[in-house]
């Protein structure tokens, strides 16, 4: 039976074999639906290779739109887009780019999850 910690919204964000002080004192059964869902949740993807990112842009029909946005940015952003080997989801460039494209946080997560599969 695991001890769980929860985020501010009440969702489980950690499962432990032993209590973790004031962080994880709630004891749930192994077959509790919330524990099962947490353990079976897909991993959160925080970065992908440049190849994966660009392929996902192409498959999503966004490559030309993103290249147009990048062309209007400063030189550092242009260099980062052109020469980065890895694209990190919460980097300033990515945050600004996804905001400019109107992506929700869920859409960004989905984009990175799909890109990680390529």
- Computed on alpha carbons and rounded to an integer, the radius of gyration of the chain in Å comes to 19
What are 6's strand-pairing partners? 12
Contact 47, 87 (CB under 8 A): yes
Q: How confident is the model at residue 78 (pLDDT cuts 50, 70, 90)?
A: very high
Average pLDDT rounded to a whole number, residues 77-92: 96
The confidence score (pLDDT) of residue 61 equals 97
User: 7-11, 57-61, 107-111: lowest mean pLDDT where?
Assistant: 7-11
Q: How confident is the model at residue 37 (pLDDT cuts 50, 70, 90)?
A: very high
d(CA 99, CA 95): 6
> Could you tell me the maximum CA-CA distance found in the chain, to the nearest angstrom?
54
Contact 26, 2 (CB under 8 A): no
User: 21-30, 53-62, 103-112: lowest mean pLDDT where?
Assistant: 21-30
pLDDT of residue 1 exceeding 90: no
Contact 3, 18 (CB under 8 A): yes
d(CA 88, CA 55): 15
Q: b vs e for 60-70, b when ≥16 Cβ sit within 10 Å of the residue's Cβ? A: eebeeebeebb
d(CA 67, CA 60): 13
> Is the pTM value of this prediction over 0.85?
no
The confidence score (pLDDT) of residue 83 equals 96
The confidence score (pLDDT) of residue 25 equals 87
């Amino acid at each position: 039976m695991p001890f769980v910690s929860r985020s501010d919204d009440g969702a489980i964000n950690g499962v432990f074999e032993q209590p973790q002080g004031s962080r994880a004192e709630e004891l749930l059964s192994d077959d509790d639906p919330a524990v099962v869902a947490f353990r079976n949740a897909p991993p959160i993807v925080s970065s992908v290779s440049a190849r994966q990112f660009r392929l996902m842009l192409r498959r999503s029909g966004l490559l030309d739109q993103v290249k147009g946005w990048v062309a209007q940015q400063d030189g550092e952003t242009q260099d980062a887009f052109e020469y980065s080997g890895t694209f990190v989801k919460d980097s300033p460039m990515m945050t600004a780019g996804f905001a400019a494209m109107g992506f929700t946080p869920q859409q960004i997560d989905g984009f990175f999850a799909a890109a990680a599969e390529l």
